[in-house]
Structure formats: C-alpha cells, structure tokens
C-alpha cells in the first residue's frame, strides 16, 4: 500500500471514528462504525490479509452492526440529548488526548524501525491461515465456539418467558 493511500485512508478512519463517538444520532454513529470497519478491511487487504478483511466485513459490518441498528430502530432512539460534561472535565480530557498523541508521535518517531518477521508470499491468504487455525490454534478456536454457544443459550434462557407447567 502506497504511503499516500495509507495517509488518506488513515485520515478517513479517524474521521469516521469521530462520527461514531461524536454524532448525536445513534443511527449515524452505527453507520460510522460500519464505515470505519469497512475502511479497516481495506487496510487488511493492503497487508495481504484477504481472509481477515473478508471476515471483518461479513462478521462485524454485515452481522453485528446490523443488530446494533436493529436494536436502535426497535427502541426508536432519535437524537440523544447529550449530557454536557463539565468544561473542566472536557478540557482535561482534551489535554490528555493531545498529550497522549504527542507522546505517541515522539516515542514512535524515535523508535528504531524493526524489520518484521520474514513471511512467505501470500501468508495472509485463506490456506495458510486455515492451516494454523486447524493445527496450532485448534483448541482455542473450538473453545471460542463453545463460548459463543453458551452465550446464545444463556441469552435465550434469560429472554424466554417462564414456561407454564401442567
């Protein structure tokens, strides 16, 4: 990925993330999140991680945020009355953010450029990633699916009305 493309996309990501946080309408916030996720997927493509990019769009943008929108629409949330933070707090938060950004720029600017680990061509493709997933990381991978199943069962158990007996 060329430096110019990276800069443009990075600026876009930051702008879209700001929409998520700052917009007063929750639907726009959710859409900002979708757009942020899609742009992040473009970054993954730039890093040759095509599978991660596709999964990012399918799972996060395509399924999870749709459900966010679903809830927002069902609750019929419109423009939120924003809780105005005290000016002191807002000022402090602003200062802290600027200090953090400055620290990051300074620190990263001084850090020596480390060479990344040597990887084969196409290492982010489906086949290499799937091989790792089904050999080295098989147990965590399967445990995650158990965790998700448990979460679904729990959600159904909580959401279900009491069963009338007899």
Partner 1 sequence: MTLDVAIASGKAIFMILIALQVMAFGVFFERKVSALIQDRIGANRASIFGVAAFGLINTLVADPIKFLLKEDVRLAGADRFLHALAPMLAVVPALAAFAVVPFGDVLEIGEHVINLQAASLNVGILYVLAMGSLGVYGVVLAGWASNNRWSLLGGIRGSAQVISYEIAMGLALVGVVMTYDTLDLQSMARQQGELIWGWLPAWGILYQPLAFVIFLVAGVAESKRIPFDLPESESELVSGFFTEYSGAKHLTFMMSDFVEVVLVSALVATFFFGGWQVPYLGREGFVFPGGGTIALASWVVALLQITSFVLKLVFFTWLQVVIRWTLPRFRYDQLMRLGWKGLLPLSLANVMVTAVVITATDALS
Q: Which residues bind partner 1 (CB under 8 A)?
A: 27-28, 31, 34, 38, 50-51, 53-55, 57-58, 61-63, 66-67, 69-70, 73-74, 122, 125-127
Question: CA of 83: how far to CAs of 30, 86, 87, 107, 137, in Å?
Answer: 19, 9, 12, 35, 45
Q: Quick check: 60 and 41 in contact, CB under 8 A?
A: no
Rounded to 5°, the CA angle 4-34-73 comes to: 155
Q: Which is nearer to partner 1, 9 or 28 (CB)?
A: 28
Least Å distance, CB 160 to partner 1, is 16
Q: Quick check: 4 and 20 in contact, CB under 8 A?
A: no
Q: Which is nearer to partner 1, 58 or 147 (CB)?
A: 58
DSSP characters for 52-78? HHHHIIIIIIIIIHHHHHHHHHHTT--
Q: Which is nearer to partner 1, 20 or 38 (CB)?
A: 38
Q: Which is nearer to partner 1, 74 or 146 (CB)?
A: 74
Nearest residue to 36 (alpha-carbon basis) of 67, 11, 55: 11
């Amino acid at each position: 990925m060329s430096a110019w493309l990276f800069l443009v996309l990075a600026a876009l990501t930051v702008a879209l993330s700001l929409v998520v946080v700052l917009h007063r309408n929750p639907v726009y916030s959710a859409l900002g999140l979708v757009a942020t996720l899609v742009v992040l997927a473009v970054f993954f493509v730039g890093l040759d991680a095509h599978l991660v990019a596709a999964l990012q769009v399918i799972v996060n943008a395509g399924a999870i945020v749709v459900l966010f929108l679903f809830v927002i629409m069902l609750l019929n949330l419109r423009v939120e009355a924003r809780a105005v933070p005290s000016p002191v707090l807002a000022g402090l938060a602003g200062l802290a953010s600027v200090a953090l950004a400055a620290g990051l720029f300074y620190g990263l600017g001084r850090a020596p450029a480390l060479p990344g680990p040597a990887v084969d061509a196409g290492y982010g493709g489906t086949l290499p990633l799937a091989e790792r997933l089904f050999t080295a990381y098989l147990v965590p991978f399967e445990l995650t699916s158990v965790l998700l199943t448990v979460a679904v069962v729990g959600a159904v158990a909580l959401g279900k009305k009491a069963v009338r007996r007899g």
